């Protein structure tokens, strides 16, 4: 793992998002929980932002940018990786997973939260008894031609997260917003709060009910 990260492998079937929220306060920033089986990869990383909560939710853009970049080396040619705002991951137009963000319940919007958790889930393969034809808007990475080694992908994600966090610190959120916006499908523009400008959709409301989970 890159400097500042500590990886915690969980047993197959454990919920990395739930576990990270449980342990965020005691384990601190850089704690990365992950688990994988033949069908699914779950990961979740604890962050300790310095911005007030109403601004720091835009961290989801950072996480999705790192996740998409981590998948690029495993992508076959002509399989575009895109994001449906704010955190649904698409490959060639099909949903293969997504990201989500958590913060402490009751946290003050005007103060930095003691922790954030960015989590992601990827569908690596379909169950043996699944009939893909019944879900034309969804797919698995293996069906799209990706060759994924879970532990390597988790490490690559952490490296890209650190790279983009450094870019944010050096150049401001605008650098992240521009890079993230290039992934958007349908195309869109992100404002300084992380909201989608087209239609003025608020980020906070969307993060409370990730729509990609319905297709996970």
- What CATH number is attached to the domain comprising 54? 3.30.930.10
Contact indicator for 98, 138 with CB cutoff of 8 Å: no
Locus of tokens 């793992």? 1
Query: What's the structural domain count of the chain?
Result: 1
Residue 81 pLDDT class (50, 70, 90 cuts): very high
For residues 74 and 69, what is the distance between their CA atoms, to the nearest angstrom?
A: 10
Residue 117 pLDDT class (50, 70, 90 cuts): very high
Q: Which structural domain, as residue segments, surrounds residue 120?
A: 6-215
Q: Which residue has the higher pLDDT, 52 or 128?
A: 52
Examine residue 186 and state whether it is found in any structural domain, yes or no: yes
Residue 201 pLDDT class (50, 70, 90 cuts): low
For 83, the token pair is 């994001």
Residue 87 pLDDT class (50, 70, 90 cuts): very high
Give the model's pLDDT for residue 205.
77
Examine residue 1 and state whether it is found in any structural domain, yes or no: no
Pairing of the two strands 94-102 and 40-47: unpaired
For residues 157 and 58, what is the distance between their CA atoms, to the nearest angstrom?
A: 18
Contact indicator for 35, 13 with CB cutoff of 8 Å: yes
Q: What residues are paired with 83 via a beta bridge?
A: 89, 184
Examine residue 98 and state whether it is found in any structural domain, yes or no: yes
Contact indicator for 188, 200 with CB cutoff of 8 Å: no
pLDDT single digits (tens) 167-200: 999 999 999 999 999 999 999 999 988 888 876 5
Selection from 14, 108, 9 nearest residue 52 by Cα: 108
Which uninterrupted H or E stretch holds 96?
A: strand 94-102
Residue 83 pLDDT class (50, 70, 90 cuts): very high
Selection from 34, 36, 30 nearest residue 4 by Cα: 30
Examine residue 175 and state whether it is found in any structural domain, yes or no: yes
Give the model's pLDDT for residue 120.
97
For residues 178 and 181, what is the distance between their CA atoms, to the nearest angstrom?
A: 5
């Amino acid at each position: 793992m890159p400097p500042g990260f500590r990886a915690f492998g969980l047993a197959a079937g454990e919920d990395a998002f739930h576990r990270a929220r449980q342990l965020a306060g005691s384990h601190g920033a850089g704690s990365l929980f992950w688990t994988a089986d033949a069908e699914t990869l779950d990961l979740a990383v604890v962050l300790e932002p310095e911005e007030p909560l109403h601004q720091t939710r835009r961290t989801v853009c950072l996480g999705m940018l790192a996740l998409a970049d981590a998948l690029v080396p495993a992508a076959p040619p002509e399989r575009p990786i895109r994001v449906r705002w704010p955190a649904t991951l698409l490959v060639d137009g099909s949903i293969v997973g997504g990201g989500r963000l958590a913060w402490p319940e009751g946290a003050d919007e005007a103060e930095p939260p003691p922790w954030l958790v960015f989590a992601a889930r990827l569908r690596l393969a379909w169950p043996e008894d699944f009939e893909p034809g019944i879900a034309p808007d969804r797919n698995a990475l293996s069906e799209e031609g990706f060759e994924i080694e879970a532990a390597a992908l988790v490490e690559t994600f952490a490296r890209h997260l650190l790279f983009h966090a450094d870019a944010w610190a050096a150049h401001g959120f605008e650098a992240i917003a521009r890079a993230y916006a290039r992934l958007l499908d349908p195309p869109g523009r992100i404002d300084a709060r992380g909201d989608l400008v087209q239609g003025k959709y608020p980020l906070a409301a969307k993060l409370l009910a990730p729509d990609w989970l319905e297709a996970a």
